[in-house]
Structure 1
Amino acid sequence: MPSAPHAPRWDVHRLPPARGRSFLVTGGNAGIGYFVAEQLAATGATVVLGSRDRAKAEAAIGSIGSRVPGARVRHMPLDLADLATLEASVDGLGLDRLDGVVLNAGVALDHPPRRETGGGHELMFATNHLGHFALTHHLAPLLLATPGSRIVTTGSFAAKSERLDLDDLQSAHDYRPKRAYGCSKLAQMLFALELDRRLRAAGSTTLSVLVHPGGALDSLTPSRPPIHVRTAGERLSRLPLGLVVQGKDAAAWPAVRAVLDPSVRGGRLLSPRAFGLRGTPRIEPLWKHLTDTTTAARLWAVSRDLTGSEPAFTAPTGFGAT
């Protein structure tokens, strides 16, 4: 018997068309999120940049438009550190469906002291994890209305060596900036996998997919003025590092594939091919501590209590009735 046909190899430079589809990228005005948005816009999709800073978002929209003729890109005001504003942000989208969201925005603090949001949460944990947890709750009706929609969560290599202290999730007793950042990203990754389990239990067609971008440096990232300007000197001085890590344009590839590739399934982890640091995206086995379902379920319960919200993907009675 002839063997079953293989799915075509994913080509980061030949993305499938997505005209008529809508995607939201949090933090899409800068860094890796910008390149996720630019690459998705090139497929013909409508791309919404979730960003606190309107001026930066407008600069990103202008940059994308200069590279992608006819790009459909717009801004959604989004402050993940202010949970009370998220419902209004989603209401302002003006969409009746959403094909995917890339939970990409994040904040990293390099030095003490510990900072808190207006709601009293540690800033990195609040922005990177709690804000995305609550945002997913508010986006659920739009995603539920879109068969096969996707929730793509951006993790980090920094989470690989961390473990969550469920009694000190917000680093109130032991605050070390790099550790707090890594734990906030680990919380995001555990959330993505627990969300996948809940989506499957509910029989939902929405997929939760996990990605991490590998190693990404500004000096290896192509210029996108005024968003990012790389000098020739910077590029030449960091060329040897290109053997190990990559630019932020390539770091966007796992998320873009997670959004668009019809062969990707929920609960998978996509990462760069070469040691998880650089190269084209591939499906990677889950890190051992990401398979800890007990910790993930407890984190979900704590996140629900801290945000006062809970992503749910079971259609209410009469949903979609005419």
Structure 2
Amino acid sequence: MNADMPPWNVHRLPSAEDKNILVTGGNAGIGYFVAEQLASVGAVVVLGSRDAAKAAAAMAAIQSRVPAARLSHLPLNLAEPATLKSSVDALELDRLDAVVCNAGVSLDHPRRSETQDGHELMFATNHLGHFALTGWLAPLLSAAPAGRVVTTGSFVAKTARLDLDDLQVTRDYQAKDAYARSKLAQMLFGFELDRRLRAAGHTVLSVVAHPGGALDSLTPSRPPVHLRTAGQRLRGLPAGVLLQGKHSAAWPAVRAVLDPSVRGGQLWGPRMAGLRGKPRLEPVRGVLADTALAAHLWTASVHLTGVDPFG
């Protein structure tokens, strides 16, 4: 960090006045708190969500805490990448300063689910949808003075393995493994995107963040989006030694959006064992640093979506 810059304070964020920021999945969970924190410092926040009623509830919750919040809803179905161009066309902005690729689905039932296009649901939503969305957003991101693509990965992706011959997980399907693979694909995309942006001389940055371990029982209430009872709070206290609430889990992504010292290709996560605490820079290593794997995944993703981001 530049010696002239003050230490990063998660409770005193720098101004984001008039910055236009899209948060996918901003209606619930970690995405909600990313949106709330960005709105609290003046950003114009667009909540990307399939469900208009849930988006309205989230906007009401944010405005109850940030009365001056400037918010809107963009209907967005990441599970169907073919619909995303029309969604982006409806985004009435002259530029986009950042997109936080946060939305995701995690299934726990043993039966494999597919989208209408025949893609495995978690891979389609978590990776392919954001891959295509970023491509359609490229002109708006390029129009900003210093646009950013912030991809929300997961701690579990670090030990996942991606099978390029079976990206859709048609063999030996296990829900937890399929989820981890989809998050690994997201993170590899974020790193590969930055390499391609730098090679092409773009001013847009691509940064990857992960939230660590986040529990509802450690998350403060935000009615009607999230309600935590006193009993849930007490039961969650022991887990607070290792994990955190979703308000704290939002900190790495928020820093990746706002911190002027952030550079493309970086990975930000919680300070304490990558599970909880204030955001810090993490090394990119292991499977996350596999450039050949990331390049092959990119080629496959272009084939599956028909979109080549910034290409």
> TM-score of the superposition, structure 2-length normalised?
0.98
- 1:263 equivalent in structure 2: 261
What are the superposed Cα offsets for residues 63-90 of structure 1, whole Å, 9 maximum, x if unpaired? 0000001100110000001112101111
Aligned with residue 13 of structure 2, among 5, 15, 22: 15
- 2:198 equivalent in structure 1: 200
Code of the aligned partner of 2:216: D
Aligned with residue 145 of structure 1, among 119, 143, 146: 143
Residue 233 (structure 2) pairs with residue 252 (structure 1):
no
- 1:292 equivalent in structure 2: 290
Q: Secondary structure at the match of 1:255?
A: helix
- 1:121 equivalent in structure 2: 119
Given that 2:158 and 2:286 are in contact with CA atoms closer than 8 Å, whether structure 1 keeps it comes out as: no
Code of the aligned partner of 2:104: G
Code of the aligned partner of 1:235: R
Unaligned segments of structure 1, at least 5 residues: 314-322
- 1:218 equivalent in structure 2: 216
- 1:320 equivalent in structure 2: none
Task: Tell me by how many angstroms 1:20 deviates.
Answer: 1.2
Structure 1 vs Structure 2 CA RMSD: 0.9
Residue 34 (structure 2) pairs with residue 36 (structure 1):
yes
- 1:318 equivalent in structure 2: none
Task: Tell me by how many angstroms 1:237 deviates.
Answer: 1.3
Task: Tell me by how many angstroms 1:96 deviates.
Answer: 1.0
Cα distance in 2 for partners of 1:112, 1:75 equals 33
Aligned residues: 310
Cα distance in 1 for partners of 2:82, 2:158 equals 31
Cα distance in 2 for partners of 1:139, 1:303 equals 16
What are the superposed Cα offsets for residues 178-211 of structure 1, whole Å, 9 maximum, x if unpaired? 0000000000000000000000001111100000
- 1:277 equivalent in structure 2: 275
Given that 2:189 and 2:294 are in contact with CA atoms closer than 8 Å, whether structure 1 keeps it comes out as: yes
Cα distance in 2 for partners of 1:276, 1:299 equals 26
Cα distance in 2 for partners of 1:82, 1:162 equals 24
What are the superposed Cα offsets for residues 262-307 of structure 1, whole Å, 9 maximum, x if unpaired? 0000000000000000000000011311111000000000000000
Code of the aligned partner of 1:311: P
- 2:134 equivalent in structure 1: 136
What are the superposed Cα offsets for residues 25-54 of structure 1, whole Å, 9 maximum, x if unpaired? 000000000000000000111000000000
Map residues 307-318 of structure 1 onto 2, 5 A cutoff: 307-312=305-310
Q: Secondary structure at the match of 1:160?
A: helix
| Identity score, percent | 69
Residue 127 (structure 2) pairs with residue 164 (structure 1):
no
Give 1 or 2 for the bigger CA radius of gyration: 1
Code of the aligned partner of 1:61: M
What are the superposed Cα offsets for residues 212-242 of structure 1, whole Å, 9 maximum, x if unpaired? 0000000000000110000011101111111
Task: Tell me by how many angstroms 1:129 deviates.
Answer: 0.2
Aligned with residue 229 of structure 1, among 227, 230, 245: 227
- 2:43 equivalent in structure 1: 45
Task: Tell me by how many angstroms 1:116 deviates.
Answer: 0.4
Q: Secondary structure at the match of 1:276?
A: coil
Cα distance in 2 for partners of 1:20, 1:259 equals 14
Q: Secondary structure at the match of 2:55?
A: helix
Cα distance in 1 for partners of 2:27, 2:58 equals 5
Task: Tell me by how many angstroms 1:6 deviates.
Answer: 4.7
Cα distance in 1 for partners of 2:47, 2:173 equals 31
- 2:236 equivalent in structure 1: 238
Task: Tell me by how many angstroms 1:174 deviates.
Answer: 2.0
Cα distance in 2 for partners of 1:103, 1:199 equals 17
Task: Tell me by how many angstroms 1:161 deviates.
Answer: 1.2
- 2:58 equivalent in structure 1: 60
Task: Tell me by how many angstroms 1:173 deviates.
Answer: 1.5
Cα distance in 1 for partners of 2:16, 2:77 equals 28
- 1:181 equivalent in structure 2: 179
- 1:100 equivalent in structure 2: 98
Code of the aligned partner of 2:90: G
